[in-house]
């Protein structure tokens, strides 16, 4: 509160052989007169020196290391100093950064680097105040080897770069303040293909065409989102398709969503993930959770808006299917977290002493989205939509807490009425575990029909009699997750022989099938399982598959063997989750 970072200017060089970023971060500090020091977050950074703008050295000290938070860096601020220059380098094992060898890319010729800041990893590559409540603008000059292109979550001032001594320099700037977890960098053999006037895709040359085809509706998505939420305030909206080790489905870095290649299904069936990341341009990037306890404000709003965009673009049936799938995942997650009394199922979750990454469950997403759906149903869509839009206008470019949300709902949606009277029961939704019994239950007639087919098969019907027609990805997902746990390997062989499930290329369908296959120890799917675990690093797919394997006596050694092979491919976000599950490295 007394000395806050308001702008970060980076001047860094990427050294792919040392696997370090090195150079300078110049921080602008918003200080009160009485503040005589500023405290920054760092983790595994080597600080070489700190000075004021005139080059006079400033005193600094690194505090004790916290295993989750890293080390505070305290810098003395002489009177009137408003800018500090920090010369530093990152560690080769910085958690935010993944340095890929050429073999880990599609092209196979050039190395690749990318960063992942959320939740508290930015401090492993930038010494700054790494809290979502402290918004900062940024600029950067990044030098990379000549044959690579650097991109960032900002305006690209020099798209082709500028030749410098052993390398190429790229300059960026973001003039709207964002929380530091949204500062993001990638460098590799990256090319661009436009889609619409303000949309396009960045990817390796081998991937970019397919990606542009997959995201053909991108411009339309932005237009639909604007109709719902108000103007898109970030200028361009592009998507960067990363190499397969990217640990998330997507990451909403401003102006440049980072996305896994596992959504390139070939038939646009997984583009709701892009709708989700785009929605974060409002919920998350424009209005941000002030602390990680309030993470549901980011993800719950976004999951709700994602479905509204999908509905506007592809119709209510598709949106309803996605909502039913999400609702099922919510129930499974509540069970996994220990049931309806578990404190981990509270939206305003207590993260004291924990890595905020632990709060990344289905709860903030699906329970949060269910609350917004309930708000919509309570006041009607027309009023709710007007509220939603005004919420983003009222809080634009600020970071807010759950408490601010509650007050906002009371004064702008419920007209001062208490929420008990309105039937909403906000207190219960936000501060108590489990799913309140006024939660809306989504329905999809298409998925009801799918469940009927799953029941028929479970009851003994042969696979060729299952009426799949031209089932979409979501119907296949639902069918597979609706199968009972006790199917034998023979029954799976019947399904597989009929529907060629082991050969599926759609990552979501294959994932759902592989879980079924592990449950029944269906051997013919095991090579595909191993291929899947060693060819992509998305944590959402990896964790359940390794957990399923580890839960069986035959699967345990298999999981360990595959993990030993695959671990070097994964990002630290994935290995941090998987190490305790599979048992160390
Ligand atoms: N912002 C999240 C990813 C994230 C959350 C990274 C917390 C680190 C900490 C992103 O928007 C997200 O939710 N991605 C999902 C996909 C989405 C469609 C549910 C993912 O990666 O699976
Ligand atoms: Zn999200």
* Closest C-alpha to ligand 1, atom 15: 249
Query: What does the alpha-carbon distance between residue 583 and residue 585 come to, in Å, rounded to a whole number?
Result: 7
pLDDT at 417: 80
DSSP-derived secondary structure for 522-564:
-GGGHHHHHHHHHH---HHHHHHHHHHHHTSTTHHHHHHHHHH
- How far, in Å, from the CA of 250 to the mean position of ligand 2? 7
- Ligand 1 atom nearest the C-alpha of 306 is 18
pLDDT at 19: 98
With CA atoms as reference, report the closest residue to 464 among 472, 456, 475: 456
Structure tokens at 169: 């320099």
Question: Ligand 1 test: best mutation among 95, 98, 221, 248, most atoms within 8 Å of CB?
Answer: 248
Contacts of 504 (CB under 8 A, 6+ apart): 510, 513
Residues with CB under 5 A from ligand 2 (ion): 299, 302
**Backbone torsions φ then ψ of 187, nearest 5 degrees:** -145, 135
Query: What does the alpha-carbon distance between residue 350 and residue 364 come to, in Å, rounded to a whole number?
Result: 12
Q: Cα 17 vs. chain centroid, distance in angstroms?
A: 28
- Ligand 1 atom nearest the C-alpha of 302 is 11
Within a 13 Å sphere around the CA of 578, how many CA atoms are in the beta-carbon half?
Answer: 30
Query: Where in the sequence numbering do the catalytic residues fall?
Result: 277, 365
Q: Cα 341 vs. chain centroid, distance in angstroms?
A: 27
pLDDT at 584: 53
Question: Ligand 1 test: best mutation among 122, 299, 307, 540, most atoms within 8 Å of CB?
Answer: 299
pLDDT at 422: 79
- What pairing do the DSSP bridges indicate for beta strands 112-115 and 3-15? unpaired
pLDDT at 585: 42
Q: Cα 265 vs. chain centroid, distance in angstroms?
A: 19
Tracing tokens 């098969």 back to the chain, one arrives at: 457
Query: What does the alpha-carbon distance between residue 35 and residue 394 come to, in Å, rounded to a whole number?
Result: 30
pLDDT in tens, the chain (585 residues): 899 999 999 999 999 999 999 999 999 999 998 999 999 999 999 999 999 999 999 999 999 999 999 999 999 999 999 999 999 999 999 999 999 999 999 999 999 999 999 999 999 999 999 999 999 999 999 999 999 999 999 999 999 999 999 999 999 999 999 999 999 999 999 999 999 999 999 999 999 999 999 999 999 999 999 999 999 999 999 999 999 999 999 999 999 999 999 999 999 999 999 999 999 999 999 999 999 999 999 999 999 999 999 999 999 999 999 999 999 999 999 999 999 999 999 999 999 999 999 999 999 999 999 999 999 999 999 999 999 999 999 999 999 999 999 999 999 999 888 776 778 999 999 999 999 999 999 999 999 999 999 999 999 999 999 999 999 999 999 999 999 999 999 999 999 999 999 999 999 999 999 999 999 999 999 999 999 999 999 999 999 999 999 999 999 999 999 999 999 999 999 999 999 999 854
- How far, in Å, from the CA of 164 to the mean position of ligand 1? 36
Work out whether the CA dihedral 101, 104, 109, 111 comes out positive or negative: negative
pTM, to two decimals? 0.98
- How far, in Å, from the CA of 145 to the mean position of ligand 1? 30
- Ligand 1 atom nearest the C-alpha of 365 is 19
Question: Ligand 1 test: best mutation among 250, 289, 306, most atoms within 8 Å of CB?
Answer: 250
For ligand 1, residues with CB inside 6 Å are 118-119, 248-252, 273, 276-277, 280, 299, 357, 360, 365, 540
- How far, in Å, from the CA of 440 to the mean position of ligand 1? 23
- With contact defined as beta carbons under 8 Å apart, do 366 and 434 qualify? no
The ligand with the least distance to the CA atom of 120 is 1
- Ligand 1 atom nearest the C-alpha of 252 is 11
Would you tell me how many other CB atoms lie within 10 Å of the CB of residue 95? 23
- How far, in Å, from the CA of 361 to the mean position of ligand 2? 11
pLDDT at 419: 75
Contacts of 403 (CB under 8 A, 6+ apart): none
pLDDT at 574: 97
Q: Which residues lie across from 402 on neighbouring strands?
A: none
The ligand with the least distance to the CA atom of 542 is 1
Structure tokens at 68: 């989750």
* Closest C-alpha to ligand 1, atom 2: 251
- What pairing do the DSSP bridges indicate for beta strands 256-259 and 237-241? parallel
**Backbone torsions φ then ψ of 308, nearest 5 degrees:** -65, -40
* Closest C-alpha to ligand 1, atom 6: 118
- How far, in Å, from the CA of 250 to the mean position of ligand 1? 6
pLDDT at 583: 87
Preceding omega of 543 cis (within 30 degrees of 0): no
pLDDT at 403: 97
């Amino acid at each position: 509160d007394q000395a806050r970072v308001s702008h970060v200017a980076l001047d860094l060089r990427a050294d792919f052989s040392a696997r370090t970023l090195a150079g300078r971060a110049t921080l602008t500090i918003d200080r009160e007169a009485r503040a005589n020091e500023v405290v920054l977050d760092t983790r595994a950074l080597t600080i070489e020196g700190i000075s004021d703008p005139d080059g006079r050295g400033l005193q600094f000290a690194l505090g004790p290391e916290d295993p989750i938070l890293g080390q505070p860096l305290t810098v003395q601020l002489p009177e009137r100093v408003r800018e500090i220059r920090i010369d530093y380098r990152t560690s080769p094992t910085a958690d935010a950064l993944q340095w890929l060898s050429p073999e880990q890319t599609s092209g196979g010729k050039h190395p690749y680097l990318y960063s992942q800041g959320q939740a508290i990893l930015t401090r492993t590559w930038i010494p700054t105040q790494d809290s979502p409540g402290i918004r900062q603008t940024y600029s950067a000059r990044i030098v990379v080897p000549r044959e690579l292109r650097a991109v960032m979550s900002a305006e690209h001032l020099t798209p082709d770069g500028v030749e410098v001594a052993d390398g190429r320099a790229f300059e960026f700037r973001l003039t709207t303040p964002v929380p530091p977890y949204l500062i993001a960098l990638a460098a590799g053999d990256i090319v661009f293909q436009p889609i619409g006037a303000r949309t396009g895709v960045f990817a390796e040359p081998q991937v970019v065409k397919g990606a542009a085809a997959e995201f053909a509706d991108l411009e339309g998505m932005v237009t639909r989102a604007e109709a719902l939420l108000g103007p898109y305030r970030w200028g361009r909206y592009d998507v960067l398709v990363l190499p397969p080790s990217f640990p998330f489905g997507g990451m909403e870095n401003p102006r440049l969503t980072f996305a896994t290649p596992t959504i390139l299904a070939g038939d646009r069936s997984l583009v709701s993930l892009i709708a989700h990341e785009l929605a974060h341009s409002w919920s998350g990037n424009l209005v941000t959770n002030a602390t990680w306890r309030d993470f549901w404000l980011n993800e719950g709003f976004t999951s709700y808006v994602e479905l509204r965009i999908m509905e506007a673009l592809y119709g209510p049936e598709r949106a309803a299917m996605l909502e039913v799938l999400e609702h099922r995942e919510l129930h499974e997650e509540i069970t996994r977290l220990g049931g309806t009394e578990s404190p981990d199922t509270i939206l305003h979750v207590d993260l004291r002493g924990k890595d905020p990454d632990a709060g990344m469950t289905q709860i903030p997403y699906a329970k949060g989205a269910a609350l917004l759906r309930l708000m919509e149903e309570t006041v009607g869509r027309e009023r709710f939509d007007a509220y939603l839009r005004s919420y983003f206008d009222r809080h634009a470019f600020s970071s807010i807490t759950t408490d601010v949300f509650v007050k906002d709902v009371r004064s702008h949606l419920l007209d001062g009425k208490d929420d008990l009277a309105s039937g909403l029961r906000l207190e219960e939704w936000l501060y108590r575990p489990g799913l309140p019994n006024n939660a809306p239950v989504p329905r999809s007639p298409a998925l009801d029909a799918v469940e009927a087919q799953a029941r028929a098969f479970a009851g003994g019907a042969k696979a060729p009699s299952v009426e799949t027609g031209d089932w979409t990805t979501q119907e296949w997902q639902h069918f597979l997750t609706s199968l009972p746990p006790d199917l034998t390997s023979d029954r799976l062989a019947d399904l597989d022989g009929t529907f060629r499930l082991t050969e599926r290329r759609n990552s979501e369908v294959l994932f759902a099938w592989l879980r079924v296959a592990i449950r029944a120890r269906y051997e013919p799917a095991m090579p595909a399982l191993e291929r899947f675990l060693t060819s992509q690093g998305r944590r959402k797919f990896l964790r359940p598959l390794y957990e399923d394997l580890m839960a069986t006596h035959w699967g345990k050694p298999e999981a360990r063997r595959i993990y030993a092979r695959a671990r070097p491919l994964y990002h630290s976000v994935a290995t941090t989750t998987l190490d305790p599950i599979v048992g160390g490295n």
